[in-house]
Amino acid sequence: MNISPGFDTSAGSDEPHWQTEARTMVETQLVPRGIREPALLKVMARTPRHKFVPDYLRTSAYADGPLPIGGHQTISQPYIVALMTEVLTLTGKERVLEIGTGSGYQTAILCQLARSVFTIEINPELSASARCRLNTLNFTNFKCREGNGHRGWPEAAPFDRILITAAPNEIPTNLYHQVTRSGRIVLPVGAFSQDLLVITQCHDENPQIRKVLPVRFVPMADPDC
């Protein structure tokens, strides 16, 4: 499994206390809520979440809730990031398509647990800053694209996993056809009332759709934007 960090986690880093905050986040927010995957917990504890939020919010980076990152978007609550990653069931061999790069935090988590990550962000400023941030942190197994997530990344398909971090009103058809038959899609679906779904047995006559829990995400852009 690809869990080598792409960044300096040494005690001599410029924020010497963040690792304690990250471990506390894992121990108080993730483990008590049922996150159990050891590799995921390790990655969540060693990823510098404070580098993915605006400077004025860095003291709140490890708090139990989402935070605004600009462009009417947010960095998701740590538990939701962990839960969505865990239900992807990554082994380290997968090619993952992420829709909604945002700040790049979820991308950084995926990069450490999957073989490669293809991530799409519709907001040009967020896409550029996330790419710069991930490069600065020395991640190398990702590709970043600006564009409408509904279109996916057809020339790189099929993907073993697809993770969508904004809520469409229904399962996007284009993306459904870009996942392997044995793969899975994790996404929130709905307008005001949303459910986090896991879709497996894709392309079968009766794909399996499991509701995980109610969630609240920013809406996914219209397919024609």
> Which of the residues 76, 116, 127, 129 is marked catalytic?
76
Burial of residue 56 (CB within 10 Å: 0-12, 13-18, 19+) is exposed
CA-closest candidate to residue 107, choices 61, 43, 154: 43
Known catalytic membership, residue 116 = no
Residue 142 one-letter amino acid: F
CA 10 to chain centre: 25
Cβ partners under 8 Å of residue 72, min gap 6: 218
- Please state, in angstroms and as integers, the Cα–Cα distance from residue 57 to each residue in 13, 78, 155, following that order: 19, 15, 38
Whether cis (ω within 30° of 0) applies to the bond prior to 172 is no
Catalytic residues: 76
